[in-house]
Amino acid sequence: MQVEYPKSEWTDKFLLLDMFEGLKTTFRELFKPKVTVRYPEERLEPANRFRGMFRFSFDRCIACKLCAVACPIDIIYIDVHDEQREVDGKMKKIKVLDRYDIDVKRCMFCSLCEEACPTKPKSIWLTTKTYELATYDRNDLYFNMQQLEYWDDRPRYEGLPEEEEHPRIEGGQRLLER
Amino acid sequence: MNPWMHYLVWPLVKFLVAFIIVQGIVAAMNWVERRLLGFVQARLGPNRVGPKGLLQIIADPVKFLLKEDIVPANAETIAYFLGPILPLIPTFLVYCLIPFGPPPTFVAARVNVAVLLVLALTSTGVYGIILGGWASNNKYSLMGGLRSAAQMVSYEVPFGLSIVGVLMLSGSLDLVKIVNYQADHIWNLFPQLIAAFIFFVAMTAETNRTPFDLPEADSELVGGYHTEYSAMKFAFFMLAEYSAMLVNCCLMTLLFLGGWTLAIGGYGLTTQTLQHMGIPGGMLGVLIFIVKVMTFMLVYIWFRATFPRFRFDQLMDLGWKWMIPLALANIVVTGVVVLLGQSLNFQGEVVLSIAGAAIVGYTLYNLRPRAKVVHASRVSEV
């Protein structure tokens, strides 16, 4: 598409046409839909590759401690003990997790632990869509194994309406509506 | 009637009522402005406090009252305290002079040189800004104060000159008489179109509003003259600014838009018609007046949402090289037409109105969409 603009005449400047053009633009803008997302009532739905809060799977974890080694600020604490167990009819020495804690308040969400994890699918991953991590106490951000696996159960800020009531909005949706 | 009642008590009561209503409007305007600016910028503006954010009107003053009042260590104490108060006094005094509805009920003080008095009072508002800017002992504040001084003094000239045409047509300095003249003939907006435009631009500059907000200029002067002011003192500056805006809008309505009347050539809701209807008629007049004033307040906000700030030399150029010559030319043309009309027996204001309407029409004609879209497939043919 190509646009041809007419030559401006001297009267255009004298009549302040550009100024009125600007006023017209802002007036039109007044009635267009707004892009603001009213946060607690409406929520943004992050994209699929969004890097959010951790999720840990006890069943997939082989207790190899690679994530703890990969962690640049050493905030993954793992305790393991060995157990003799019967697997496929043979007695085998197996590592069992006692403790898997992440001090999330110091975490920078670099996702190196996820990269280091050898299991498939990963037993620690960050591609969840949760970003509401604020707490009233900083110790609430020290997550142990159970919390990492089931953090959806932790109490949210009360006084909000039910989850179904607030619509989820995809990023950029509001801009497309304009 | 008891002269004490007639000359002191009643005017005082009227002034207080007007004052309270005006302060309410000023507080509400702050919310309206933020909301509308938000809408223009694809935001929502303040909408959390109360329904549609309406309680913001109360929340803001409460915040101002509760905040800590800081006085800079090296401030010039007396001048620093006078700074926010000085611009308030003249703007509040002006409300005595402004007729909000048909006289005598809705006019606190009817003065036969009201226009001059209003101009004199509003022009003293600059002292507070200069004093405040200087007393803060801050480079940026001083810069803002100086800019404000230069700007307000410069724009006082076209501000005054643009009114002269109106005074020549209506032949009086009494605001009530000017309004009555407009109801009997035509709104001064049409015969004095250029004067109305100059008046509006000059009053925007007088009240330091965008695009003439160089004294504040938050991006270069960190807020200008009120940088060092906090809490209620800052609120006083804002109050003075918005009150001055409202005064100027009232003046614009009275001088160019027929005040509380809604009539052309003596037909419609003239002052006499409203007076015959008694108190309801008076209230109707006040309502018409407020609607007109609010329209101009919204135009103020509209301007702020649209135009970027002038450079200082551009501002001075506009004032001295364009506004003043234009205002002088307007006076000359108006005078010639009125004199010719008197000697050749035609209505001068009708001729001027036709000229004004022609300018409006030509502008609207030129505002039509003129850019032509050539489709890509046809570019090769062209």
User: How distant is the Cα of A137 from the closest Cα of chain B, in angstroms?
Assistant: 26
Is the CB of residue A17 less than 8 Å away from at least one CB of chain B?
Answer: yes
pLDDT tens digits for range B139-187: 888 888 888 888 888 888 898 898 998 888 888 888 888 888 888 888 8
Architecture in CATH for domain A48-155:
2-Layer Sandwich (3.30)
Nearest residue of chain A to residue B374 (CA atoms) = A2
Confidence (pTM): 0.80
Residue B267 at interface with chain A, using a CB cutoff of 8 Å: no
Distance from CA of B360 to the nearest CA of A (A): 9
Q: How far is A69 from chain B (nearest CA, A)?
A: 46
B344 touches chain A (CB under 8 A): no
Cβ of residue A115 closer than 8 Å to a chain B Cβ: no
Contact status of A14 with chain B (Cβ, < 8 Å): no
Closest B-chain CA to A177: B42
Averaged over successive runs of 10 residues, the pLDDT of chain B (382 residues) comes to: 77 83 85 89 85 86 87 84 85 84 78 87 84 85 85 87 88 87 85 88 85 76 79 86 88 88 81 80 86 90 88 86 89 88 80 81 76 58 47
Q: B315-336 pLDDT, tens per residue?
A: 888 888 888 998 999 899 888 8
User: Nearest residue on chain A to B367, judged by CA atoms?
Assistant: A17
Test B363 with A26 for CB contact under 8 angstroms. no
B306 in A contact zone (CB under 8 Å): yes
- Per the CB < 8 Å rule, is B44 touching A34? yes
Chain B residues near residue A22 by CB distance under 8 angstroms: 306-307
Q: What six digits make up the tokens of A59?
A: 């069943």
For A3-43, what is each residue's pLDDT tens digit?
676 666 777 777 777 788 888 888 888 888 888 888 777 77
**Of the candidates A4, A15, A25, which has its C-beta nearest B362's C-beta?**
A15
ipTM > 0.90 (yes/no): no
Q: How far is B357 from chain A (nearest CA, A)?
A: 13
Interval A102-161: pLDDT, tens:
888 888 888 899 899 998 888 888 887 777 777 788 888 888 888 787 766 444 545 555
Chain A touched by B375 (CB under 8 Å): yes
Closest CB to B302: pick one of A23, A35, A36.
A23
Which two structure tokens, joined as six digits, stand for B40? 């223009």
